[in-house]
Structure 1
Amino acid sequence: MLEDITRPSFAHMAQGVEREAARLGHLCLVCSTDGNPKQELGFIEMMRAQRAAAVILVGGAADTPEYRERTRKIADSLASAGSRLVLCGRPPLGPDAPVTAIEYDNEGGAHALVAHVLTQGHRRVLFLGGPPDHTTAQGRVRGYLDAHRARGLEPDPELLLHGDFTRDCGYRLMRRALAQRLEFTAVVAATDLVAAGALTALHEAGLDVPGDVSLAGYDDIPFARDLHPALTTVHVPYQELGRLAVRSALDRSAGDAATHLLLGTHVVVRDSVAHVGP
């Protein structure tokens, strides 16, 4: 179950789930919720009634007390029916919840990416982030801030912009930053899609990447290597996340105990970040 099946990162996780489920002899039903909690709950109730072996929720969320209470009730309800709730790319609920949480090092990936940009001499780094209440966006912002502070730097708050994870948002935020004449030599985008929109806006403004402005993304979706220039980004093992979600959900050797697994990320250096300064 995912928010938007058209987002490449979600699609790759769903593909990993579907392929691993098929390999293990299970049928996989993919549901898109459009971010609607009521629609999500309706799908979950349908799957519970169908006695699904597992329900896998893909992608981040707004981590509020209401969300945690609702998700805990869902987990308990599924467990009572012999099913398993898996949070894939969402934070765990706690040690006593009958939930499997499969995460990737979201914050660490952002930290490593921004550290790479800073190592190239950049000190004014514009960050094009996602929704401020979204767990995935929050982790990437923390990585951005911590990478600066680890080097004794305090980023300018004006260089931290919020939007969503789409290409159009990247385009709009980049045009806004240029219109406001914000000073920056590099841009780090919350996703590769956001970076693609920013790249178009920079090109339309007559700016060369990376000659005038360096640019980096996050996710390492396939088209990142086909942009011009090829995009420096963070690789997230989305398909492996999906496969591991299935394997972990079907392995009930731990009973109803909470399970938390974390996969690594790494920076993929391509051509879009240039060295500046002496």
Structure 2
Amino acid sequence: MTATLADVAARARVSPATVSRVLNGNYPVAAATRERVLRAVDELDYVLNGPASSLAAATSDLVGILVNDIADPFFGIMAGAAQSEIGGGPGAREKLAVVCNTGGSPERELTYLTLLQRQRAAAVILTGGALEDPGHAAAVAAKLGRLAEAGARIVLCGRPPLVLSGAGSGSGTGVRPAGPVAATLTFDNRGGSRRLTEHLLALGHRRIGYVAGPEERTTTRHRVEGHLAALADAGVAPGPLVHGSYDRRSGYDATLELLRLDPSLTAVVAANDTVALGACAALRDRGLSIPDDVSVAGFDDLPFSTDAVPALTTVRLPLYEAGARAGRLAMGKEPVPPGGIATVHGELMVRGSTGRTRA
């Protein structure tokens, strides 16, 4: 049965008028109340229908760009590049790009997809790694399917291809690509991480610590897998590994923990460049020199990487180029890649933060 506005009001324990105010955004509502209403909208999959659908159709020039953290340059660069490509162009209608900041919350991600469906979005771009949770992946795929059925183009940028568990394709794998996704631009995080660790091994490092990102994110797993594969190929035992957030503070704290676990470390690989800055600060506070005592490497090649002291060795992901391409795909300005999937490779950038181990 299709959910009604009254159903949402009952679930959120508010009046129908309050639900309308939250959804229309035309009246101030307390943050806690707004969250309850949006959660109810998501749980009931509420979408305008009937006579009201004509109002929603008027917003079909809307394009949603979902990011985990707009303050993180990784996401800001991709969102800005995508937005630069989202427009009318010669003879076409202008489009309005809206950046939806999930804060890394899976609930907010689903809620935004529901609201974009309600607004009859022309396209949706999802950026960055995905949550490693089959239930959430299935829920995302279901919402993308409804968006696609309504005519929206769906693009994944910096995510692995979306798959559904338990829906075998006849290959015996038990998974199949999610049909509603029009195009996927997936980053080669494994390959980039492998090359980074191979670089450190070539410099003589054998005691390498790793500051990883959140355990539940695909980006984290893929980068760790590339690192471990390089070590295994070289016959080198893995060093200590500590998980944390993708921020500077996490890099600082995790590096102190790595030094506690193994004071003889000669290199630290960080989940990304921001984490690497925290790692560098922790090493300096311990009186260690970079790279003479400990080498440090990051990932992504964010704009500040070349200005760090010393400049960071990292893997450059073409974030702007990928975001711009996602925008063109979302607007139908560029053909979908063969099979709907294109792999975006990284480039090893060797700078002053890594050097040979001391004899």
TM tier, smaller = over 0.9
- Which residue number in structure 2 is paired with residue 5 of structure 1? 70
- Which residue number in structure 1 is paired with residue 59 of structure 2? none
Point out where structure 2 has 5 or more consecutive residues left out of the alignment: 1-65, 163-175
1:169 to 250, 255, 260: 250
Task: Give 1:53-68 correspondences, 5 Å limit.
Answer: 53-68=122-137
2:264 maps to 1:143: no
- Which residue number in structure 2 is paired with residue 263 of structure 1? 344
d(CA) in 1 for partners of 2:146 and 2:334? 20
2:139 maps to 1:70: yes
2:107 maps to 1:38: yes
Task: Give 1:1-278 correspondences, 5 Å limit.
Answer: 1-22=66-87, 24=89, 25-93=94-162, 94-99=176-181, 100-156=183-239, 159-251=240-332, 259-276=340-357
Please say if residues 214 and 244 of structure 2, whose CA atoms lie closer than 8 Å, have aligned partners that are also in contact: yes
Which secondary structure does the structure 2 equivalent of 1:63 belong to? Answer: coil
1:18-42 deviation per Cα after TM superposition (whole angstroms, max 9, x unaligned): 1111374422111101122332222
Q: How many residues align structurally?
A: 275
1:160-180 deviation per Cα after TM superposition (whole angstroms, max 9, x unaligned): 111111100001111222344
Q: For residue 70 of structure 2, what is the amino acid of its counterpart?
A: I
1:149/1:180 Cα in 2 relative to 1: closer, same or farther (>3 Å)? closer
1:173-214 deviation per Cα after TM superposition (whole angstroms, max 9, x unaligned): 112223445321011101000100011111111110011111
d(CA) in 1 for partners of 2:224 and 2:334? 36
1:206/1:252 Cα in 2 relative to 1: closer, same or farther (>3 Å)? closer
d(CA) in 1 for partners of 2:241 and 2:309? 25
TM-score (norm 2): 0.72
Which secondary structure does the structure 1 equivalent of 2:86 belong to? Answer: helix
d(CA) in 1 for partners of 2:292 and 2:209? 16
Which secondary structure does the structure 2 equivalent of 1:273 belong to? Answer: coil
Over the aligned positions, Cα root-mean-square deviation in angstroms equals: 2.0
d(CA) in 1 for partners of 2:109 and 2:254? 30
1:210/1:252 Cα in 2 relative to 1: closer, same or farther (>3 Å)? closer
Point out where structure 1 has 5 or more consecutive residues left out of the alignment: none
Deviates more, 1:244-253 or 1:136-145: 244-253
Please say if residues 75 and 84 of structure 1, whose CA atoms lie closer than 8 Å, have aligned partners that are also in contact: no
d(CA) in 2 for partners of 1:181 and 1:147? 20
| Cα offset, 1:258, TM superposition | 6.4
Please say if residues 120 and 150 of structure 2, whose CA atoms lie closer than 8 Å, have aligned partners that are also in contact: yes
d(CA) in 2 for partners of 1:115 and 1:254? 35
4+ residue runs over 3 A deviation: 22-25, 179-182, 252-255
d(CA) in 1 for partners of 2:282 and 2:323? 33
Q: Which has the larger radius of gyration?
A: 2
Q: For residue 121 of structure 2, what is the amino acid of its counterpart?
A: A
